[in-house]
Amino acid sequence: MTDAARAELEQRLTALLAANGAALGRLAASYATSPSDRDDLLQEISVALWQALPRFRGECTERTFLFRIAHNRCIAHLARRRPVIPLDDSELELPDPAPNAESALSRQQEGERLLAAVRRLPLNYRQVIVLTLEGLDYREIAQVLGIGESNVGVRLNRARHLLRQQLTSGDER
């Protein structure tokens, strides 16, 4: 690879990661059980994207391509993941001295509760929920997951139903 081609590839990768970094972080968090696992998974996604980007043929958007790569890395992560005994997060966190800490804590707890509920979904439902939350449309999700658009809709409806059940029943396994 020439220096010019490498520089162009680095620019494309930097732009993609800058535009989609937060979304990739949320995607990785839905598959990882700890912040360090999430960071490792993000690193794996970045390396995989770096390796795959020269093969991008423009058959879909770069964003769809990026999520396809990320999805594959997340699946590989799940396949090799060993059970981890989670630490009690309350023992590790310091109280927030900011004003209105109760409402911030409440929002944080609701977010954690939602993330935990998403993590408990079967993998095929978790995938469509996470990609939908990241703003991908049915066509893009179908391309990322390699399924039909109608299947995306069915999975999304079922995933929403399961999430609703978990969140209203207080199922906190």
Domains in the chain: boundaries: 1-81, 103-173
* C-alpha span between 41 and 54 (Å, rounded): 21
Residue 168, number of CB atoms within 10 A of its CB: 8
Which tens digits make up the pLDDT trace of 82-103?
555 555 555 555 555 555 677 7
Please give the single-letter amino acid code of residue 111.
Answer: G
The pair of three-digit structure tokens given for residue 149, joined into one six-digit string: 């658009």
Domain at 1-81: CATH architecture: Orthogonal Bundle (1.10)
Output the average pLDDT for the chain.
85
103-173: CATH topology = Arc Repressor Mutant, subunit A (1.10.10)
Tens digits of residue pLDDT in 44-68: 999 999 999 998 888 889 999 999 9
Percent of the chain with pLDDT over 90: 51
pTM: 0.65
